[in-house]
Chains A and B, each alone.
Chain A
Amino acid sequence: MLGLEKKDFQLLLIVIGLTLFAPFLLNPFPEGSDLAQFNAGYPDLMQRFVIFGIFAIGFNILFGLTGYLSFGHAAFLGAGSYGAVWMFKLLSMNVLPAIAISVVIAGLFSLLIGYVSLRRSGIYFSILTLAFAQMSFALAYSVLTPITGGETGLQLALSDPRIFGAAQTATGNIPVPALFGLEMRSSFEWNVGAWLFTFNAGYYLAAFFMIIAFYISIRIFRSPFGMMLRAIKSNQTRMSYTGLNARPYTLAAFVISGMYAGLAGGLMASMDPLAGAERMQWTASGEVVLMTILGGAGTLIGPVLGAGMIKYFENIFSKINETILHGWFAFLPDGLEDVVVAMIYPFIGKGWHLTLGIMFMLVVIFLPGGLVQGGQKIGALFSRKKAEETKPNATEPAE
């Protein structure tokens, strides 16, 4: 189906299902209940899930397949954001040209950086990408202020030309990004009993792009090109003595993943039309590394899971404060309650980064295949008998 093997097609269907029904799935708790704080089904966060999902899927095409660890991918995301905002300023508030240009700009930018960085491999490659990204960040922050808005970031203004659209709305405000009139921020809210579900236009646009991005990534993973990339990771010597030139392959992977980052940046700007230099900083690049590896580098679904998980932690988990904790453990005797809260508190709320760091380390140490591998291991425990009956097919890479 769609040129996919059955298993891959099923995976794609699952992802489509999850993204389409995310407003329900992420809002399982009724409004106003104690657990409502764990609801993640609000537009802003759902948009972030899918946008960072795209970013991580793209990063995985480079790192997961070729093993080249880039520490500068945020630069492409940032470049994509700037490109999109400029489209809003110059052209119109339609998101399609903005997204298109963000992909193109990020592609060109990654072609340039990749061409230079890929002359080295291993840690030297990591340092080169890091250096380029930090340079881009520093320049965007200072000298390039006319293009990037410097410290304040690039914002829309009433005085922007917007040659194909209105410079301002009838009420004299800056117009908002829209897809042929459908505003990205517009939402349809649906009350079902105590539950409130929000269906946001921007989310569904971003989700549409993520499904496309995911589909393309499956095709790449299952293509001869994808196999070559895995071969590069495995043994570059044999690669060249088999008559294959590794560099164009790695460069192509680098540019593809750069374009994914640009798409993510463009979508980010489409949801909220501003772009700042901090999107290019190396900590932002580190974040996508965390997402990809936590979820499972080299697996198809892993990066999406990793992105979702980290964004969920960042936005939901981090809001748990001491009072809430005391509320949860109120059933315990007083002294014990304090002890338990004191023990848990450092790891949640504002301390969620600590949990993230520990989880990340555990994954790198014990589960090189990330959470996906963890899931597979647990799954294998339950269905060991079944696995023995059906012969494993190793030509299919991990999902």
Chain B
Amino acid sequence: MGLLEVKGINKRFGGLQALGDVNLSIKENTTHAIIGPNGAGKSTLLNVLVGKLIPDSGSVMFDGQSVLGRAPHEINQMGISRVFQTPEIFSDLSVFENVMIPCFAKRDGAFRMHAIESIFAEKGIQQQAEAILDDVNMLEKRDMLASSLSRGDKRRLEMAMCLVQDPKLLLLDEPTAGMARADTQNTIALLKEIREKRGITMAIIEHDMNVVFSLAERITVLAQGTPLVEDIPDNIKGHPKVREAYLGEAQV
């Protein structure tokens, strides 16, 4: 039984079958990559997992509970965090506030009317936030406005915001898309470190094969909305079906 069990998911948009009978099992304590050519349904699948889309049929079980029909914030509270293609952070807030917010969300749940308490009195939350910023080497930038960070730092901040919640599963949507080579290498290193230090289960959707093969322990190849193969990276590399699916695409 995996941490995340996806069974028989179907999703149609008008006449287009975006996902057809998708089965997927993500085992605890692994890094699982989902790859596939453009239009294979990777993003649709991700949106189903985080509650943004409701599939026509099928089930998604996370940690023994159904995910379907829940709002994104409820799914996050179950223990699934998400990193976006372009970092989604609170641009108008300081770096420190950015990481304090998930600390509050973890401690107080989806809503709490703590309108009279002072932020400055929340020592426990502040320590947590400082610790995570230290972990991602951003402590000296704590008072900067998040919008003034470099792209790489924004990515790291977003990662920190996810990590501070101690998620059971971290979903990463093309974490290195549009990044320069150096930034990509940094991100790979960061992810590896997170994986080793914290043992968080990760699911990565990624285009860049370099990233996939440096991180993934298992790979699912999606084509035309259906999983083609699922295996360990070494077996995926030379798999004829995968080559077929990627024919015409340059990355493999």
Interface, chain A (partner B; CB < 8 A) = 3-5, 216, 219-220, 222-228, 230-231, 233-235, 237-246, 248-249, 252, 256, 391-395
Contacts and interface: CB of A to CB of B under 8 A. Distances in A.
Given A231-B93, A395-B94, A243 B105 contact: yes
Interface stretch (B19-27, B116-124, B197-205, B238-246): B116-124
B79 to A, nearest CB: 9
B115 A223 contact: yes
A245 B161 contact: no
A240 B96 CA distance: 19
B228 interface: no
Which of A3, A219, A241, A391 is most buried by chain B, counting CB atoms within 10 A of its CB? A241
B113 A242 contact: no
Contacts of B213: none
Interface stretch (B6-14, B53-61, B68-76, B185-193): B68-76
Given A230-B97, A239-B73, A240-B76, 18 more contacts: A3-B116, A219-B115, A219-B116, A220-B116, A223-B118, A224-B108, A230-B92, A231-B90, A231-B93, A231-B101, A233-B92, A241-B82, A241-B84, A242-B76, A242-B165, A243-B77, A243-B109, A395-B96
A244 B101 contact: yes
Contacts, number: 124
B88 A244 contact: no
Contact of A5 (B113, B120, B165): B120
Given A225-B113, A235-B88, A242 B102 contact: yes
Would you list the 8 A-B pairs with minimal beta carbon distance, nearest first?
A: A243-B76, A225-B115, A245-B110, A234-B90, A394-B143, A234-B92, A238-B88, A248-B111
B89 A222 contact: no
B215 interface: no
Contact of A225 (B94, B109, B114, B142): B114
Nearest to B77: A243
A226 B92 CA distance: 14
Nearest to A235: B90
Nearest to B106: A243
8 contacts: A223-B116, A224-B104, A228-B101, A230-B93, A231-B93, A241-B73, A242-B73, A394-B145
A237 B120 contact: no
Contacts of B145: 394
B144 interface: yes
Contact of A235 (B81, B89, B109, B142): B89
Nearest to A3: B118
B90 A393 contact: no
Interface in B117-164: 117-122, 142-145, 161
B134 to A, nearest CB: 16
Contact of B102 (A230, A234, A243): A243
B100 A227 contact: yes
B94 to A, nearest CB: 4
A256 to B, nearest CB: 8
Nearest to B76: A243
B72 A394 contact: no
Given A233-B92, A235-B91, A242 B118 contact: no
B114 A244 contact: no
A226 B91 contact: no
Contact of A223 (B72, B111, B119, B165): B119
A358 B121 CA distance: 43
A393 B143 contact: yes
Interface string B27-56: 000000000000000000000001000000
Contacts of B113: 225, 252
A243 B94 contact: no
Nearest to A248: B111
Given A3-B118, A394-B145, A243 B165 contact: yes
Nearest to A252: B113
A3 B144 CA distance: 25
B100 A394 contact: no
A226 B90 CA distance: 14
A222 B106 CA distance: 20
B150 to A, nearest CB: 17
B177 to A, nearest CB: 17
B115 A226 contact: yes
A154 to B, nearest CB: 33
Given A5-B120, A234-B92, A245 B101 contact: no
A224 B114 contact: yes
A241 B101 contact: no
Interface in B218-232: none
Contacts of A219: 115-116, 118
A207 to B, nearest CB: 22
Contacts of A394: 94, 143-145
Contacts of A241: 50, 72-73, 76, 81-82, 84, 88
Contact of A238 (B77, B89, B96, B111): B89
A256 B88 CA distance: 29
A57 B237 CA distance: 62
Interface in B164-181: 165
Contacts of A220: 115-116
A176 to B, nearest CB: 36
Contacts of A237: 84, 88
A265 B82 CA distance: 45
